[in-house]
Structure 1
Amino acid sequence: MEHSPAKIFEALGDPVRRYILELVATGEQSVSAITSAVRQRSPISQPGVSQHLKVLRDAGLVRVRADGTRRLYRIETDGLHTALTWLSRIADPLAPFTQPLDALTTEIARGKRARRISGPGADTGAETGRQAGHA
């Protein structure tokens, strides 16, 4: 599923949601455990925490699974990957050119090595053909 960087960063704009993300980054957490931890830091109701979890889920940052009557939340790595990819384009705008430039460097090195191996007095097939034609 493709996640929108705009939606991801909008979700991360709230300090409560960032804290929830830090909580679930340590491992799968139940809604009650998340609510308890968040309520120690700010006065928020359980429905308020659930709303924050919904925003994080809709942005693709957390995943939920049912375990009986409990709902367990964990990090959604695809959403994090989308955010990291977007940030890396900002931090290193030349990164997309790295692989083609590495390939070019390799080809230049191969050419230099081939010229060095054949040397200035080496007999190449093309030279041999020309010499045979003049004989």
Structure 2
Amino acid sequence: MNTNTSQVQQQPTAQPVISTGSMLTQVSSVLAVIILLILACAWVAKRLGFTPKRGSTGQSLSVSASCQVGQRERVVIVDVEDARLVLGVTGQQITHLHTLPPKPPQENPEAPAATADFRQVLQTLIKRPGKP
């Protein structure tokens, strides 16, 4: 009886073999899920309006006001060099509704506010009520 138990104990245990194909499949599937997650986040950001608008046409054309009228309809005021156009915009077409006179030029254009330097911003964030 001792000889049988010693033979059983001397046999090496078989380690599980990991195939290269299954490892490659796992890595590929995780990578595909990550890429799909990135694409889904980009679609949500674009849908909610977090992405910047492309196609700047310069100073000669700009949208000064916009008002949602329906689910896909809106009224837009577009500033052109010599006039302001009131346009009705739908999913299928753009309709000219009215022409307004151009805006009078501003006599005193507001200077952009001076931005605070990093040191000042950091000090205001660090200061807490009750501390000097």
Judging by fraction of residues, say which structure has more helix: 1
Structure 1 or 2, whichever has the larger Rg, is: 2
Question: TM over 0.5, yes or no?
Answer: no
Q: TM-score, normalised by structure 1?
A: 0.32
Whose strand proportion is higher, 1 or 2?
A: 2
Question: Larger RCO: Structure 1 or Structure 2 (Cα < 8 Å, ≥ 6 residues apart)?
Answer: 1
